[in-house]
Amino acid sequence: MTTLAMFPDLKAPDPPAGIDLRCCDVAEVLAEVTGATLVVADPPWVYGQRISGSGKGADDHYECLAMADILGHLRLALACCGPSARCVVWTTHSQMPEFLSHAVRADDVTTLGGWRWVTGGTWAKVGADGAKGGRGAPGIGYHALSSESEPWLLLAGPGPHRRANVSGCRVIPRHRGRGEEHSEKPVEYQREMIRGWTEPGDLVLDLYAGLGSVARACKAEGRRYIGAEIDPARHERALAKLATYRPETL
């Protein structure tokens, strides 16, 4: 794997105006953010049993967070938002039951400061052969590369919300080897969420930025952005992708 760190004379490109993608711990960003309209959380979930024939290459591995840490970050993040904000939590099929058992009560009110679980959806994947979950489809965390979908949950604050037309399930091709990386969410999907749940100029808070697909979506849609990625190599790659990203018309 080639990264900018291999070339000390090169500097990672600065992000565009309004986009603040930092290499730091989530807590550093949460200590200073207020007024976010949308929180995006794609945590590094603890993985379960390894499935035969699946897994990640050496470049795909990253440190995972315990459920208690993820819930703590979410509580702090949602406290930074106004009552009409929303929060998208990307999860996995294996981790979602535990997350719901800790975060959501029977009346759909969460343990995260009065927020509610209102809906959810799925990123349905297709592989290089054009089939859902087919050959070449990117995997779900540490789970099989043949997995067909990755779910998300939408939480909403106690205030009024603008109506949004965001489809619950989308099938968007993503083939490894064509610029996408393991578990990298489609920018097109992120853009749809941002258009549906924010207005131009709103602030989007990205807790676990990864390779920066939310940052690229905010660049395309004219939203302000602040995000944290703790791994220096992934942060460098995220900045490089952000610098070269040219939005397509959706």
Any domain includes 246: no
User: Domain holding 134: CATH number?
Assistant: 3.40.50.150
Is the pLDDT confidence value at 199 over 60?
Answer: yes
Say if 138 falls within a structural domain: yes
Alpha-carbon torsion 213, 219, 224, 227, what sign?
positive
Q: Which residues neighbour 246 within 8 Å (Cβ) at sequence distance 6 or greater?
A: none
What pairs with residue 38 in β-bridges?
86, 204
Residue 224 covered by a domain: yes
Closest to 174 in 3D by CA, of 222, 118, 125: 125
pLDDT tens across 141-155, in order?
333 344 567 888 999
Strands 116-126 and 81-90 come out as unpaired
Indicate whether 128 belongs to any domain: yes
Q: Which of 91, 55, 174 is nearest to 126 (CA)?
A: 174
**Two tokens at 83?**
């009552």
Q: Residue 62: is its pLDDT beyond 90?
A: no
Distances (CA, A) of 60 to 35, 53, 201, 231: 33, 15, 33, 12
Instruction: Determine which helix (DSSP H) or strand (DSSP E) holds 27, and give its type and residue range.
Output: helix 26-30
Domain annotation covers residue 242: no
- 248 lies in some domain: no
- Whole-number pLDDT of residue 7: 42
Residue 113: what pLDDT? 87
Q: pLDDT tens, 6-33?
A: 444 445 556 667 999 999 999 999 999 9
Q: Could you read off the pLDDT of 117-129 as tens digits, one per residue?
A: 988 888 876 655 5
Using CA atoms in the order 209, 13, 234, 228, what is the torsion angle rounded to 10 degrees?
Answer: -30
Total domain count, the chain: 1
Task: Kindly report the length of the chain.
Answer: 250
Residue 208, in any domain of the structure = yes
- For residue 202, give its domain range: 15-230
Q: Over pLDDT 70: what percentage of the chain?
A: 69
Summarised one tens digit per residue, pLDDT across range 70-122 is 999 999 999 989 889 999 999 988 889 999 999 998 888 999 988 999 888 88
Instruction: Please state the pTM of the whole predicted model.
Output: 0.81
Q: Has residue 67 been placed in a domain?
A: yes
Instruction: Kindly give the pairing relationship between strand 81-90 and strand 149-156.
Output: antiparallel
What three-state secondary structure class fits 152? strand
Q: Report the DSSP beta bridge partners of residue 151.
A: 122
